[in-house]
Structure 1
Amino acid sequence: MKAPSWHPDFIVIGAVKAATTWIQARLQENPQIFMPDPEPHYFSSGFDHGEQWYRSFFRDRPETAEVIGEKSADYLAHPLAAHRIAQTLPEARLVLQLRNPVARAYSDYKMFFRRGQAKGPPEDYLQGAESPYPRFLEDGLYARHLSRWFDLFPREQILIYLYEDVAVHPQRIIEAVSAHIGVAPVFRKEAAAERENNSQAAILPLPLRKALAPLKDSVRPLRGKQVFENVRSLLAREITYPPLSPALRERLTDYYARDIETLEAICGLDLSRWKATARNTA
């Protein structure tokens, strides 16, 4: 039975901290595509809200949109998301962007650090089962997670590409994703240099961010306006993150080594770039 017209035709399922917001922004530049800005997380943490709640994310789609999609980067690693999507949207095209798991884990840690949720050095969070945030390590076990998806979806329904290729071949990535979801590509050359959720970008100090949190929706229309950005630039500062030590980087590389080998075998990917312990993962 064909899914209702408001249901997504494609879903970007992850991985977390692998620049999925970049591909979302590029796809949203295509007038043939509608994707809501927020991540619904419906098939992961929001499933109990029900289908009508999920439907509300797509109520503003224009009639001219030929293809509907969504992006929730936690779907890949969530233990129930693959089954739920297979039950609800068995024909949905799935898009997956993978990043060096060591770099992904450190980037995830940095996000929590700038939010004030992680307060200690990476060693306190990226070593073993004692981590207060298991996702830092577990989300990078891509082969383990993908096995669930491959059990439920045909391989040709899942497009997989690498984060590291976005900077080198951004147009090629846009063309591949567009072909996978069934639309003509739209690509701006300027998009090659654009980064979303950049950890190096200057941000407001944490106490000020917390104080202004209730006003987040109110000030959103002001973003990009010259006066607003000028005021923000006076207060924003680039964050200095605790570094990932060479010793910890090597331990993480060893931790992911077997999963990477399995991932190469089941996906036919060349992941030799991920295997060097001396790689700069900042």
Structure 2
Amino acid sequence: MRSSFKRSAHAVSLTTGRITVGARMLPSFLIIGAQRCGTTSLYRALAQHPLIVKPVLRKGVHYFDVAYDRSLSWYQAHFPLKATAAKLHRRYGYRPQAFESSPYYLFHPLAAARIAWDLPGVKLIVLVRDPVERACSAHAHELARGFETEPSFERALDLEAERLAGEANRLCASPHYVSHAHQHHAYLARGRYAEQLSRLELLVGRDRVLVLDSGVFFRDPEPVYDRVLEFLGLPRLGDPVFEAHNAQPRTSDMPAKVRQKLNEYFAPWDALLEPWLGAEPSWRR
């Protein structure tokens, strides 16, 4: 009953949004990933800022990855009214900024180009985490959601190449194609952060991409939060509450041989992150 009510409310809200689409905002920045790297926690912290306005219905719209067959008007219908932004502008003297958080945007092969085309000037925020921990956390997350059927993390890693074979090419060849394996079974591939960031650099430009170390964010969130506000050109207003969301248990029980193998696999990719972070990744120190 509750889910049925939520679906009905969602449909009504979107219908209203479409009617008023011309009077609605488009996002000034996006949190685009990576998955299982603290995107929800950062989203919740930023949503407390009076000049940062979130989508009307949910944190991630997923337009640029799995819903691009819909129109830009459909996307815009998810955001607050410009009249709301105007009131905030008059009150605080700064222009409010709308945003959303969809962590598949970073990994989807077409999302960056779509974002660059539809939202020129948009700023992008990326969070990165120890890719070994991220991979194991993602497996537990997908297993809990029913999107993964292989209970063994090690076996899921072995299956990844076969599962993902040709999927990125299919996504590029058929723009409205949706790949379950590419979205839910990319435990190693999603941890090659530098590979995905290089695509962003070409399409958006490095100056409009902010890469954050999730380990640093969770250990000392205040300076990271202030860095985000500086990137967005917004003043510090109030003191947000920082909380961890959607956390999975740590992987201390991971077999040593698997951890070592994954550490070696990701080492060259981690090294390529240093120019983006301005420091060695926290998990390599």
TM-score, scaled relative to structure 1: 0.74
C-alpha separation in 2, matches of 1:35 and 1:89:
16
1:198 has 2:217 as partner: no
C-alpha separation in 2, matches of 1:268 and 1:39:
25
Shift of 1:118: 3.7
Partner residue of 1:162?
Answer: 213
Partner residue of 2:257?
Answer: 247
TM-score, scaled relative to structure 2: 0.74
C-alpha separation in 1, matches of 2:100 and 2:235:
18
Which of 152, 155, 166 is the equivalent residue of 1:121?
Answer: 152
Shift of 1:188: 3.4
1:23 has 2:42 as partner: yes
- Cα deviation, 1:71-103, whole Å, max 9, x if unaligned, reads 111111110111111111120111111111111
5+ unaligned residues in a row in structure 2: which ranges?
1-21, 89-95, 164-180
- Cα deviation, 1:95-119, whole Å, max 9, x if unaligned, reads 1111111111111011012224344
Q: Do the aligned residues in 2 keep the contact of 1:32 with 1:67 (CA within 8 Å)? A: yes
Count of residues in correspondence between the two structures: 232
Determine helix, strand or coil for the equivalent of 1:22: helix
Partner residue of 1:93?
Answer: 123
Q: Do the aligned residues in 2 keep the contact of 1:109 with 1:118 (CA within 8 Å)? A: no
Determine helix, strand or coil for the equivalent of 1:167: helix
Identity %: 29
Q: Do the aligned residues in 2 keep the contact of 1:83 with 1:152 (CA within 8 Å)? A: yes
Q: Do the aligned residues in 1 keep the contact of 2:24 with 2:80 (CA within 8 Å)? A: no
1:1-282 aligned at under 5 Å gives the runs 6-36=25-55, 37-59=58-80, 62-63=84-85, 64-65=87-88, 66-116=96-146, 117-127=148-158, 129-130=161-162, 133-186=184-237, 188=239, 191-192=241-242, 194-200=243-249, 243-264=253-274, 266-267=275-276, 269-271=278-280, 273-275=282-284
Q: Would the alpha carbon gap of residues 126 and 20 (structure 1) be closer, same or farther in structure 2, given more than 3 Å must change?
A: same
Q: Would the alpha carbon gap of residues 51 and 58 (structure 1) be closer, same or farther in structure 2, given more than 3 Å must change?
A: same
Determine helix, strand or coil for the equivalent of 1:254: helix
Q: What is the CA RMSD across the aligned residues, in angstroms?
A: 2.5
Q: Do the aligned residues in 2 keep the contact of 1:11 with 1:93 (CA within 8 Å)? A: yes
Q: Do the aligned residues in 1 keep the contact of 2:24 with 2:79 (CA within 8 Å)? A: no
Large movers: runs of 4+ above 4 Å = none
Q: Would the alpha carbon gap of residues 22 and 187 (structure 1) be closer, same or farther in structure 2, given more than 3 Å must change?
A: farther
Q: Would the alpha carbon gap of residues 111 and 134 (structure 1) be closer, same or farther in structure 2, given more than 3 Å must change?
A: closer
Shift of 1:241: 8.5
